[in-house]
Amino acid sequence: MKRREFLVMSAVGGAVLGLSACGSSKSGGSGAEGDTIVVGYSQLGAESGWRTANTEDIKKHLTAENGFDLTFVDAQQKQENQIKALRDFISQDVDIVAFSPVVETGWDDVLQELKDAEIPVILVDRSVDTTVEDPYVAHIGSDMAAEGKMAGEWVQENFPNAKIFELQGTMGSGPQVDREAAFDAIMGDNVIGKATGNFTRAEGKTAMEAALQAYPDMDLVFSHNDDMGLGAIEAIEAAGKKPGTDIAIVTVDGVKDGLQALVDKKFNYVVECNPIFGEQLGELMKKVVAGEEVEKNTVVEDKTFDQTITQEEVDARPY
């Protein structure tokens, strides 16, 4: 049964819109036990410790032993590379596509092509803004807005009068848009400056060096990820100031290096963005290809950490 036929039958049978599913694969039922699901996965890059951990966990679970034939493409943080990869997946006639979009917009054409080819799409970690109707069957990842909100609430409680510099992620990406909007809804009046560090440690350091000159009275940094915050530590220390004391640092991710900075009292608060969901993604793919109904949005559980975290807790972290 082709995917389109299955979707029509589901609608007639009263399937709830928003709980999307796709029919059996072109290889004739890859969801069945013993069959292999051919997966095309486009990762946006390797810009951070978080992304590396996410990639490793996905590759760990989407294996031949687990029933997957995975083609994995690193887009090196370029949208044009991702679009090419997605079109290559169409030509390869894969059973299912998953990707973490570099930015939110600019996907209309390729998403329509995937839909026309009846290849189901799962968005991983990030979101898209598109005019294509029902462009994907499911999304799995953290609630980026909730992360920004948690960071903002902690700053409001602990540093209500802070003069804040905001280190933004890749402009136009889902995490940047959602974390910034949610944080600024709470602490926006206190934000005295912003600049992008593109989610990388090196660019975070460069942006912070400039910010220290432009905003000498800043006393708190909100960084959209740990890596940029770690770059900010380098810049702050080079300027003769003490990170975590002279300038408080609040970040999002929860990678080992970031949590180590908490133990070392150089970060003050970290909101987790959990990258370890490869097993969940694999199970989701199996259900989609088998034609089962799945939740439109699977939210990965996130935690928060402050300076009470112990070295033992950090050492025990898998990423």
Rounded to whole angstroms, how far apart are CA atoms 12 and 220? 55
Q: Does a structural domain hold residue 318? A: no
181 found inside a domain? yes
Residue 21 sits in the same domain as residue 119: yes
91: amino acid identity, one letter? S
Same domain membership, residue 130 and residue 7:
yes
106: alpha, beta or left, given left = phi > 0 and alpha = psi -120 to 50?
left
Residue 316 within a domain? no
Is 168 found in the same domain as 204? yes
Residues 30 and 118 in one domain: yes
What pLDDT sits at residue 86? 98
The pairing of strands 269-272 and 304-306 is antiparallel
pLDDT the model gives residue 28: 39
Do both 266 and 182 map to the same domain? Answer: yes
Listed in sequence order, the residues at least 6 apart from 253 whose beta carbon sits closer than 8 Å to its beta carbon are: 48, 49, 50, 225, 226, 227, 270, 271, 272, 273
Residues 160, 247, single domain; the answer is: yes
Structure tokens at 26: 């072109």
pLDDT at 34: 53
**14 plus 135 within the same structural domain:** yes
Q: If you ran DSSP here, which 8-state letter would residue 246 be given? A: T
Residue 281's CATH number: 3.40.50.2300
pTM of the full structure: 0.80
202 and 287 housed in the same domain: no
- Residue 228, domain extent: 144-273
The pLDDT assigned to 243 comes to 98
The token duo for 199 is 């989610």
Query: What domain count does the chain have?
Result: 2
What is the predicted pLDDT for the residue at 97?
98
DSSP 186-203: HHGGGEEEEEE-TT-HHH
For residues 74 and 204, membership in a common domain is answered with no
- Both 284 and 227 in one domain: the answer is no
Same domain, yes or no: 114 and 212: no
**Residue 319 belongs to a domain:** no
Q: Please check whether residues 56 and 169 belong to one and the same domain.
A: no
Per-residue pLDDT of the chain (319 residues; tens, 9 = 90+): 333 333 333 333 333 333 333 333 344 344 444 589 999 999 999 988 899 999 999 999 999 999 999 999 999 999 999 999 999 999 999 999 999 999 999 999 999 999 999 999 999 999 999 999 999 999 999 999 999 999 999 999 999 999 999 999 999 999 999 999 999 999 999 999 999 999 999 999 999 999 999 999 999 999 999 999 999 999 999 999 999 999 999 999 999 999 999 999 999 999 999 999 999 999 999 999 999 999 999 999 899 999 999 999 999 988 8
* Domain assignment present for 291: yes
